[in-house]
């Protein structure tokens, strides 16, 4: 953030500026406005606007209830009772039912169209008293000894400066401060890109699993990855493939046949898409796995995707964004009351990084054979399956019981990997032996 002269003699325009009107920014702004803070939020687009990230987690439910929007979300969403993953059984998939969690968490979530969902959050934040402006882009930020200011440009092209006591960067994958302060770094162990679209006419699971998110794995001649299928309202289904960025880059042709080739490579999905029609445009996003080196500094803090994003396989993004938005609001409110900023920021960073790390452990291993086997053959010995359901529900913060059981799952994963390695080496030895014979 560029530094600027001291403004000790003039009072700031508001207490807190928020960059971005997605789930993280609107959650933080609503929570702060409800605590009596004067908040100005700037969103460069106008709601409703398309956004990817349509599958919520059960741990979103308490936050939606706190924000007072649960009923509205219930009206626009599809109830999601479970996530299903491929398995070698008669029906071809295993269901991780959210009611079978370890710690009495909400037993369901929602699948939502993000244009509708984000607009609900945005209007709710305005109703809470935040000044939330659309079509207003933050161009620059400046830090001074006693305040922070931003330069914003509105739809008519006019620019002006706004000054506050604190800044929350909730700019999503634009990572406004991450870029400005050069804090953004690629994720060390994960690289992904995605191609996705909405379709109509896609077959749904039978009740009670009609609202499930379905995850598939694929392997085509040139690459491998995974696919999501998310049922939305009005017979729309969101389907996307997540793959290595080079696979997407080197496709050598149009996006639509590329995506359809991947989707049709999975027989079970091809069947569900027998009557599918593309609805709207295809979208693609390049390598999106990153994390910022610092999440906070003097008078600023990041929340949501602006601080890190790894991969959407467990639909954790919106929950992490809203949880982070809530926690950032608590921190800012306390600091404005005189609480020690650095100490609270360290606690915030430790907590959020631990949650992201927990999801990352599962994400980076998701396409390995040992992981696929364990997810296809879940066992509730020592309540491990219930702990997995809790993790899939988003229960990774303040979740000691769940995390202890997840450690057992991780041990099983390492044992299974060693066995697989042993099998592969044994197979190679046999192969060499038979060639020699």
Q: Binding residues for ligand FAD, per CB under 6 A?
A: 19-25, 42-45, 51-55, 137-138, 170-174, 176, 194, 196, 240, 285, 288, 304-306, 309, 312, 315-319, 321
Q: How far is CA 290 from the centre of its chain?
A: 12
E strand or H helix at 64: helix 60-67
Instruction: Give the residue with the Cβ less far from ligand FAD, 38 or 51.
Output: 51
Instruction: Decide if 132 contacts 46 (C-beta within 8 A).
Output: no
Q: DSSP labels for 214-266?
A: EEEEEEETTEEEEEEEEE-STTEEEEEEEE-HHHHHTT-S-HHHHHHHHHHTS
Measured from the CB atom, the residue of 52 and 181 that comes closer to ligand FAD is 52
What angle do helix axes 23-34 and 317-336 make, rounded to 10 degrees?
Answer: 30
Would you say 19 or 387 has its CB closer to ligand FAD?
19
Smallest separation, CB 207 to ligand FAD (Å): 22
Nearest to ligand FAD of 74, 430 (CB atom): 74
The whole-angstrom separation of Cα 42 and Cα 128 is 15
Cα separation, 102 vs 179, whole angstroms? 39
At its nearest, how many Å lie between ligand FAD and the CB of residue 193?
8
Which tokens is 370 given? 């040992």
Q: Is the peptide bond before 48 cis (omega within 30 degrees of 0)?
A: yes
Shortest Cβ 248–ligand FAD spacing (Å): 12
The H or E element spanning position 165 is strand 159-169
Q: Rounded to the nearest whole angstrom, what is the least distance from the CB of residue 138 to ligand FAD in the complex?
A: 4
Query: How big, in percent rounded to 5, are the helix, strand and coil portions of the chain?
Result: 40, 25, 35
Report, in Å, the least distance between residue 418 CB and ligand FAD. 33
Distance set, CA 141 to CA 162, 175, 299 (Å): 10, 13, 11
CB of 156 to ligand FAD, least distance (A): 16
| Closer residue to ligand FAD, CB minimum distance, 58 or 304 | 304
Angle between helices 23-34 and 60-67 (to 10 degrees): 50
Q: State CA 105 to chain mean position distance.
A: 19
* C-beta of 151 vs 417, nearer to ligand FAD: 151
Distance in angstroms (rounded) separating the CA atoms of residues 318 and 60: 8
192, burial (CB in 10 Å: exposed 0-12, middle 13-18, buried 19+)? buried
Nearer to ligand FAD by C-beta: 125 or 335?
A: 125
Q: Smaller CB distance to ligand FAD: residue 163 or 405?
A: 163
DSSP-based three-state secondary structure for 32: helix
Shortest reach from residue 41's CB to ligand FAD, in Å = 9
Q: Least distance (Å) from ligand FAD to the CB of residue 192?
A: 8
């Amino acid at each position: 953030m560029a530094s600027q002269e001291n403004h000790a003699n003039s009072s700031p325009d508001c207490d807190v500026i928020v960059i971005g009107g997605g789930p993280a920014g609107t959650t933080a702004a609503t929570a702060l406005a409800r605590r009596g803070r004067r908040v100005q939020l700037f969103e460069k687009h106008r709601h409703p606007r398309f956004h990817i990230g349509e599958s919520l987690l059960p741990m979103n439910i308490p936050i939606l209830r706190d924000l007072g929007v649960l009923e509205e979300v219930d009206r626009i969403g599809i109830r999601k009772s479970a996530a299903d993953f491929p398995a070698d059984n008669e029906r071809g998939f295993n269901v991780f039912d959210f009611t079978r969690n370890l710690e009495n968490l909400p037993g369901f979530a929602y699948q939502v169209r993000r244009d509708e969902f984000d607009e609900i959050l945005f209007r709710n934040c305005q109703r809470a008293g935040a000044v939330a402006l659309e079509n207003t882009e933050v161009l620059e930020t400046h830090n001074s000894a006693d305040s922070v200011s931003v330069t914003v440009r509105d739809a008519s092209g006019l620019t002006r400066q706004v000054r506050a006591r604190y800044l929350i960067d909730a700019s999503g994958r634009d990572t406004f401060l991450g870029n400005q302060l050069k804090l953004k770094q690629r994720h060390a162990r994960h690289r992904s890109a995605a191609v996705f679209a909405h379709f109509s006419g896609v077959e749904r699971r039978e009740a009670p699993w009609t609202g499930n998110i379905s995850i598939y794995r694929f392997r085509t001649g040139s690459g491998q990855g995974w696919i999501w299928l998310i049922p939305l309202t009005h017979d729309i289904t969101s389907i996307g493939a997540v793959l290595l960025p080079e696979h997407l880059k080197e496709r050598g042709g149009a996006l639509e046949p590329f995506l359809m080739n991947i989707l049709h490579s999975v027989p079970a999905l091809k069947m569900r898409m027998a009557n599918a029609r593309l609805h709207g445009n295809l979208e693609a996003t390049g390598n999106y796995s990153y994390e910022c080196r610092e999440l906070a500094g003097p008078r600023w803090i990041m929340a949501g995707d602006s601080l890190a994003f790894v991969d959407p396989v467990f639909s954790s993004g919106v929950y992490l964004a809203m949880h982070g938005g809530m926690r950032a609001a608590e921190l800012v409110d306390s600091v404005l009351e005189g609480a020690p900023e650095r100490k609270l920021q360290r606690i915030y960073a430790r907590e959020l990084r631990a949650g992201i790390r927990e999801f990352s452990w599962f994400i980076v291993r998701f396409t390995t054979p040992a992981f696929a086997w364990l997810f296809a053959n879940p066992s509730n010995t020592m309540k491990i399956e219930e702990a997995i359901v809790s993790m899939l529900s988003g229960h990774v913060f303040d979740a000691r019981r769940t995390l202890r059981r997840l450690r057992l799952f991780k041990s099983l994963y390492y044992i299974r990997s060693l066995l697989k390695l042993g099998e592969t080496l044994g197979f190679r030895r046999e192969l060499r032996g038979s060639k020699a014979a």
